[in-house]
Amino acid sequence: MQKQLDTLLAKAGISLTDQQKQQLLGYVGLLDKWNKAYNLTSVRDPKEMLVRHILDSIVVDPFLKGDRFIDVGTGPGLPGIPLAIVRPDSHFTLLDSLGKRVRFLRQVQHELKLTNIEPVQSRVEEFPAEPPFDGVISRAFASLQDMISWCHHLPKAETGRFYALKGVRPDDELAQLPSGIELVSVERLHVPTLDGERHLVILKAN
């Protein structure tokens, strides 16, 4: 696993410390262990998790601006936990409405000694953003329209951003953005050995 992670990181041009690599591998180990009972992800093979969960999450790191983020509909902590590991100076609120997922996140927080994450059980539209966040992140969470509708109160005025991790470029959704929302950019992401496209859509409120 260590060797495969090193190879993937090299192909993606990502440099991490040994501690960060061990934390990422530790997270995959916990995800694999808990998945058997909690059904946290449809990906069963830990080696596949390295590509589809770890690399797929951390390739967005260069595009994030700020240091306070909320990962809405985080599920088992994706992309929030891998990003928190590679961005130790940033803070991530991990929001999910399902208790078993939040229990898993707290176990990860405890075992990996992650001081920069805060697992929270709540529906996103009921969660108060005090203070507002630099970035609102979602991965396979909802359409762009739903994300904006449910999360409009979460980012900082003017400087806050929405970051939506998508597969193929969602041109249909981009054509139907609500008024008051501006497209900042669509970034094509490179995830080594992953089949299919990956894009990051960055939006802001006018």
Strands 135-139 and 68-72: parallel
124 is in an annotated binding site: yes
Backbone angles phi, psi at 85, to 5 degrees: -70, -40
73 is in an annotated binding site: yes
- CA neighbor of 117 nearest in space, from 93, 149, 98, 83: 93
135 is in an annotated binding site: no
182 is in an annotated binding site: no
Tell me which amino acid residue 163 is. Y
Cα distance between the two ends of the chain: 45
2-12 vs 18-38: helix axis angle to the nearest 10?
120
139 is in an annotated binding site: yes
Q: Is 133 exposed, middle or buried (0-12, 13-18, 19+ CB in 10 A)?
A: buried
Q: How many CA atoms lie within 13 A of 76 on its CB side?
A: 20
Angle (CA) 166 99 25, round 5°: 60
CA 51 to chain centre: 14
User: Which amino acids are annotated as binding site for S-adenosyl-L-methionine, given as ranges?
Assistant: 73, 78, 124-125, 139
User: Which amino acids are annotated as binding site, given as ranges?
Assistant: 73, 78, 124-125, 139
